[in-house]
Chain A
Amino acid sequence: MSIEDRISTVKEEIKQLKNEINLKKSNLSESSLRTLASDIPPLETSELVVRVHLTGHLGKVYGVHWAEDSNHIVSASQDGKVIVWDAQAQCKIHAIRLRSNWVMDCAFSPSMNLVACGGLDNLCTIYDLSQEEEGRINIYRELSSHTGYVSCCRFLDDQRIVTSSGDMSCILWDIESGSKITEFADHNGDVMSLDLKPGDTNTFASGACDATSKLWDLRSGTCEATFEGHQSDINSVQFFPDGNAFGTGSDDATCRLFDIRAGRELMEYTNDNILCGISSVAFSISGRLMFAGYDNFSVHVWDVLKGNDTAILEEHSNRVSCLGVSKDGMALVTGSWDKELKIWA
């Protein structure tokens, strides 16, 4: 048998084994989340309304992130600018000029001193907001090592940051020295998103174009668990507030909830009318709601327990590319290709 034939036979075997495992798993499960939650009364939410429109970007907004004070927001746009906003005062605090326009994500450090962004230049660039010179903020560090675009970046603290990349790996960096501490390579596709586990400084989750999400150990660099289920690229990954589960959004038009302890998918959030991909997901502070940004310009608010759509927010005039819930749970910010940011409450 030729090598190609041997590979296809083995692939078939693997597929069959996986199906058998999944069958055994579902036979063992006592119930599904949907069934268990059927007795819970449906949520009575007040309608989410846009409270603030943040305008100023001249190009598509690709990334947005709340600061820990639940008031400042950082956003990145294709116009080559990263803007730091004061949400309550509805004004701009900083406008940083990027070296490369092609940015894909941005982030605030927990201390709010640093801001990071990454994109098609394969770099993660860090800016120190406290070092403003004549109204300009210069590059503090340029983290270079990825051989593909940087899709997402999240600070552990002012000294360390984790990035995910189109080169199929994630990297933990030491910012001061600008060097790699650990490399996380196990995905078979571009890694599109990552999220740090709340209350645990040693774990993070990633989602990739190989349709899997993985949990990683920051110290050892090993992949602790892999979650399958999605049928296409996973674009966004976000931990459930208690850190024991995480939500994902994918090009397969579904969002899913994966439980870490059960090691499996708990629920799929979709319906027949949804035919486009999800770019970003975020949980409400209680975890009862999951916000998902869609390519068809809308944001859906899913009831995490019952699995249904509780609301569809349609205010953007182009794809919703990024969103986030503030730490105090009071507001949702959405960023879109329509160049605007909107804050909802």
Chain B
Amino acid sequence: MGNKQKKRKIQKKKQKEKNERINKSLQEGNNFEKEMKLLVLGTGDSGKSTFVKQAQILFKDGFDEKQREVFKQAIRNNLILHMKLLINGVYDFGLDLSKSNEKLAKRFLEISDRTQPDQQIAETISKLWEDSSVKEVFDRRSELQIPDTANYYLDAIDRIVEKNYRPTDKDIVFCRIPTTGINELKFSVQEHPWRIVDVGGQKSERRKWIHQFDDVSMIIYVVAMSEYDQNLYEDENINRMYESLELFDSIASNRIFTRTSIILVFNKMDIFEEKIKKTDPKICFKNYSGGCDFEKAKKYITKQFIKVVKTKRRKVFPFYTQAANSESIKKTFETIIETVLENSNI
């Protein structure tokens, strides 16, 4: 056999071997087919990524140092962003800051949005946070786009700007970082591979990518129960809960999910409990007549969502949670896992 032929033969053998190796690696180490996929959906700010963070704490021993570092930056940066929102709120509502704070505020607003607060900035923020007008704006935050957890961080500013600050799990869970693209987590429960996916960051046409998830085991639809008196960030004329109901309707009636179980997670129950004392849900649901009653309101709102799912064949489970309450989250996940495994006959 000539050299050229020999070379070609060796080459072909190598090629075949490589092909075999690749085939093997594709089959093993790929749990793709066995994976239980959970899809988290919901309107902006409903708590989808928080849900995923909680899964990380429950199933993956929390966050590693690298992730904590990322959150640390976001938490510190949010101090500036949120105080800016509050100050702008003071002006929007036509309120006045105290004379000394007025000067501080003007200078503060000029700081770049991407800064991390140093000692001086932190002091400025603390002073402004004590202003009665700023506190009033926070009370009326439903009328603006100020996150509910802003006060948690502003109250803890001294701890946060400290040199050795390491965010606690609670700090991370409450931290608001808008998701871009896709946010997912792989974990293992009962020796089974699971994957929870949050596509909240996509502002594009759902119909162009929702088919990527046509084989999910369950849809987790997250609703912030407290948003009944808030309007959208994207369009201040639209009530957030209406938007959430509409989205839920389009998901529940999508052909792709006719057989998929849906779980409704009503989140931010603690904020809802506070809010319901003063604000009547009638502001969102004209036919509601239960008044400022926690149980009546909770029941009514739940019903509005459940009746969207018209087919009786489909199971819809409502759950009530709040970010800091790990017990409620744990129970929710336990039921999710139990239900999915039951339905898949494993």
A residues in contact (CB < 8 Å) with B: 56, 58-60, 78-81, 83, 86, 89, 91-95, 100-102, 104, 120-123, 135, 147-149, 151, 165-167, 189-190, 192, 209, 233
Contacts and interface: CB of A to CB of B under 8 A. Distances in A.
Interface of B: 12, 15-16, 18-19, 21-23, 25-26, 30, 32-33, 180-182, 199, 201-205, 208-209, 212
B203 A148 contact: yes
16 contacts: A58-B33, A80-B32, A81-B30, A89-B12, A89-B15, A91-B19, A92-B18, A93-B18, A100-B182, A102-B209, A120-B202, A135-B25, A148-B203, A148-B204, A167-B203, A233-B205
Contacts of A92: 18-19, 22-23
B212 A135 contact: no
Nearest to B21: A135
B202 A59 contact: no
A78 B22 contact: no
A175 to B, nearest CB: 20
B185 to A, nearest CB: 13
A148 B202 contact: yes
Contacts of A83: 22
B204 A166 contact: yes
Given A56-B23, A56-B26, A189 B205 contact: yes
A296 B92 CA distance: 55
5 nearest interchain CB pairs?
A166-B204, A91-B19, A122-B181, A148-B204, A92-B22
A189 B204 CA distance: 8
B22 A123 contact: no
A189 B205 CA distance: 8
Contacts of B199: 120
B15 A86 contact: yes
B325 to A, nearest CB: 31
Contacts of B21: 135
A68 B208 CA distance: 29
B200 to A, nearest CB: 11
B32 A120 contact: no
Contacts of A120: 181-182, 199, 202, 209, 212
Given A80-B32, A81-B30, A233-B205, 18 more contacts: A56-B26, A58-B26, A58-B30, A60-B212, A78-B212, A81-B26, A89-B15, A91-B19, A92-B23, A121-B181, A122-B181, A122-B182, A135-B25, A148-B202, A149-B204, A151-B208, A166-B205, A233-B208
B203 A91 contact: no
